[in-house]
Structure 1
């Protein structure tokens, strides 16, 4: 993997992390920026994750691959879940909340996780969904031909839309409330949708790795057109993977792919012309930013008054500082932040001969 490619990938992921922070801004904005961010930012993360997926074909390597992803995703998940919970419970006890039933109910909600964990845990669903998406795609690529993989993905995509229709239309109400009528631990059912985006990153690798000027222009024009159609009320499109809100069988593919293609193309062009080191820094600490930006606001908004810019700045800077502190001063800090690396084993002479 060459440095130039790493540069644009890290830059794009760093920018997407900024969008994640902005997307959780609790205030009101004149322009529906958050709506358009949700059109593509989470699908883009799954697409970029699929871009670097490596199938496991050889016998005996599946366990190692699963272990690696567990250490990189679930260990940090448990670390931040436990850390935030301890601080929250300490604050609750300090404020006089000694209601045992409250702690039992709250803890059970955290165990279930996914769309049921709100507030400081609002983004935790993504990591568990990504982990099980990776497992699902590992299984698909190991045991099924390409044709059967595509059939499985089509079925998965269809089931996801039926589930969304049931929650949004049959149950009805606000998406967050409606989706919570469908019981599921860790948002594993979102894998049905996520694996499709993940697979697009893997199958379309040759396109993502070198977005041509023609495709970039098409993607940009299409993205601007989609926003214009929404602004003029020709369409009213929404997408929320966390809350099972998939509203359009075609646009749920077209819009995320179009916007992600534009994003990737722009950052490939930028990386070739400019330095994106500041975005690479954000990407380097993206896991901590993701877990802590909402909690940072919860802790600070009683002491500071700030708008979108302040919210975003605090949501980036504070977690980055904490990420550096954790890695330098806490035993196994890098491991707790997903920095697990498997030891390379010597090649088997029998295989090489």
Structure 2
């Protein structure tokens, strides 16, 4: 894979991370900006992950691949879960919260995670879903031939939409509240649909890595058209992976696809002429940005009033500083934010964690 392709991928991830931050703006966004973002930004992360998936041969042990992905994804998950929770509880206690039942109830929601983990933990669902999506696809490609892979993916997609129909149309009400009536650990039920997005990235790798102008043009025009229709209230489509809101089987493939092709194509073209180093730099700090930005806002909005631009700059800036501090000053900081090649604590040097 050429340097240019790697550049556009990193730049795209940096751009998508900015959208993640914008998507958690606590104020009111101009309608339907938030709707546009959620149409594609989370599916795009799964498609990108699928692009670089490497299947195992039949005689290759699965254990090593699982350990590696666990270290890259779940170690940062537990690290930031611990850090954020400790800070929250210290502040809560300092402000006079001595109700043990509150702490116990809060801990129970953090253990279940997924859609139950709100506030500062609003993004944590993504990591667990991505890890188990990878694990499932690893098993799928190792033990089943292509026909049965597609069959399983189709079944998963159908079940995902049956569940979403139940949540959105039968239970009804707020999608966030309705989704929480189905208590699934770590949002693992969402892997039913993310597995499909991941698979699309893998199976359509050549298409995504070499986006042709005719396809890009069609997808861009289509994207602009549906954006315009939504703007004038002629197109009512919503997508929220976290809260199981994917209740249109056809559009849940088409809408993310046309936007992903549009965005990927733009950055493939631009990075031919300029490396967009700022977006690449953001991607390098993306783990910390993802986990920290909501907590940054929750603390900073007690002292500052800011609009969307101020919020985005502040959350990105403080999170980036946090990332650099962790890497440079925290013992084993690089390891705790997913660098499996970095020096690791003694606990992670045993056979259980050796890759």
* Superposition TM-score, scaled by structure 2 size: 0.95
- CA offsets 1:174-193 (integer angstroms, 9 cap, x no match): 00000000110100000000
Kindly state the Cα deviation for residue 60 of structure 1 after the two structures are TM-superposed: 4.2
In the other structure, the counterpart of 2:229 is 229
In the other structure, the counterpart of 1:346 is none
Report 1:316-335 matches (<5 A). Answer: 316-335=316-335
- Tell me how far apart the structure 2 counterparts of residues 103 and 233 of structure 1 sit (CA, whole Å): 43
- Tell me how far apart the structure 1 counterparts of residues 61 and 215 of structure 2 sit (CA, whole Å): 37
In the other structure, the counterpart of 2:181 is 181
Q: What do you get for the CA RMSD once the two structures are aligned?
A: 1.2
Report 1:15-94 matches (<5 A). Answer: 15-94=15-94
In the other structure, the counterpart of 2:123 is 123
Report 1:258-269 matches (<5 A). Answer: 258-269=258-269
SS at match of 1:272: coil
- Tell me how far apart the structure 2 counterparts of residues 278 and 93 of structure 1 sit (CA, whole Å): 39
Kindly state the Cα deviation for residue 171 of structure 1 after the two structures are TM-superposed: 0.8
- CA offsets 1:190-219 (integer angstroms, 9 cap, x no match): 000000000000000001111011111111
- Tell me how far apart the structure 1 counterparts of residues 326 and 29 of structure 2 sit (CA, whole Å): 34
Kindly state the Cα deviation for residue 340 of structure 1 after the two structures are TM-superposed: 0.9
- Tell me how far apart the structure 1 counterparts of residues 318 and 180 of structure 2 sit (CA, whole Å): 31
- CA offsets 1:53-76 (integer angstroms, 9 cap, x no match): 000114343101000000000000
- CA offsets 1:235-267 (integer angstroms, 9 cap, x no match): 200000000001211000000011001010000
SS at match of 1:273: coil
- CA offsets 1:244-298 (integer angstroms, 9 cap, x no match): 0012110000000110010100000010022211000000010100000000000
Report 1:258-337 matches (<5 A). Answer: 258-337=258-337
In the other structure, the counterpart of 1:239 is 239
Structure 1 unpaired stretches of 5+: 344-353
Q: How many aligned residue pairs are there?
A: 343
Contact kept? 1:14, 1:283, Cα under 8 Å: yes
Report 1:94-173 matches (<5 A). Answer: 94-173=94-173
Larger mean CA deviation between 23-32 and 121-130 belongs to 23-32
Kindly state the Cα deviation for residue 304 of structure 1 after the two structures are TM-superposed: 1.1
Contact kept? 2:32, 2:230, Cα under 8 Å: no
Kindly state the Cα deviation for residue 342 of structure 1 after the two structures are TM-superposed: 9.7
Structure 1 stretches of 4+ moved >4 Å: none
Contact kept? 2:211, 2:261, Cα under 8 Å: yes
